[in-house]
């Protein structure tokens, strides 16, 4: 099994509930098992600034799926939850990105892993390092080194638990919360 790290974000509706639902849907996807979920973090939008603040999280999972299949699962969840792309980098009910796929670099027309802007995005790095402090880029560089190059003060703790302690509910097993306990 390979380890994959998803980055999730929402800035429309009940942002925390949207992230919790996306994590549950990921965990229910064939070939995926969520193993750990970060706290929720809030940050101002990047690039397209005229929109509400985002809540972000990271989820670590074990998978035997190919990167293309993970992308298809993420896009299916976004569509199922009502994501509509009206403005590039604009407001969204949910955004599910593949931040890391083990220590493998993926370069496909519709998918680049590690996420191309991961090293510049505090809102992605902070939750990622909470669930995978030992993560390594395909270059061999520890991901934790990238945190030195971003403004972590731009990321605020929103909640220590996803949806008031509800992590993904799954008959497949128990996912760890960020505090190391299981549900």
Judge whether 92 counts as a catalytic residue.
yes
Question: How many of the other CB atoms lie within 10 Å of CB of 2?
Answer: 16
- Asked whether the beta carbons of 16 and 163 are under 8 A apart, the reply is yes
Helix H or strand E encompassing 124 = helix 122-131
Is residue 88 annotated as a catalytic residue, yes or no?
no
The residue annotated as part of the active site, out of 24, 83, 121, 177, is 83
One pLDDT digit (tens) per residue for the chain, 183 residues: 999 999 999 999 999 999 999 999 999 999 999 999 999 999 988 877 777 899 999 999 999 999 999 999 999 999 999 887 777 777 889 999 999 999 999 999 999 999 888 999 999 999 999 999 999 999 999 999 999 989 999 999 999 888 533 443 333 333 443 444 333
Query: What's the sign of the alpha-carbon dihedral 130, 178, 83, 113?
Result: positive
pLDDT of residue 51: 79
- Its pTM stands at 0.86
The catalytic residue among 3, 15, 92, 177 is 92
Ramachandran angles phi, psi of 170, nearest 5°: -150, 140
What CATH code would you report for 2-159?
3.30.70.560
Domain-wise residue ranges, the chain: 2-159
- In angstroms, rounded to a whole number, what is the distance separating the alpha carbons of residues 50 and 135? 33
- pLDDT (0 to 100) of residue 2: 96
């Amino acid at each position: 099994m390979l380890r994959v790290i998803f980055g999730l974000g929402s800035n429309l509706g009940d942002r925390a509930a949207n992230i919790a639902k996306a994590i549950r849907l990921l965990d229910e996807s064939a070939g995926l098992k969520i193993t750990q979920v970060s706290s929720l973090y809030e940050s101002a939008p990047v690039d397209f600034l005229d929109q509400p603040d985002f809540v972000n999280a990271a989820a670590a999972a074990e998978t035997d799926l190919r990167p293309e299949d993970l992308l298809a699962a993420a896009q299916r969840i976004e569509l199922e939850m009502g994501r509509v792309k009206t403005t590039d980098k604009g407001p969204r009910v949910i955004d599910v990105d593949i931040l890391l796929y083990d220590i493998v670099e993926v370069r496909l027309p519709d998918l680049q892993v590690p996420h191309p802007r991961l090293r510049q995005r505090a809102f992605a790095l902070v939750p990622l390092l909470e669930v995978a402090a030992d993560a390594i880029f395909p270059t061999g560089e520890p991901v934790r080194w990238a945190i030195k190059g971003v403004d972590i003060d731009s990321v605020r703790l929103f909640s220590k638990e996803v949806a008031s302690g509800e992590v993904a509910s799954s008959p497949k097993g128990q996912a760890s919360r960020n505090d190391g306990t299981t549900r």
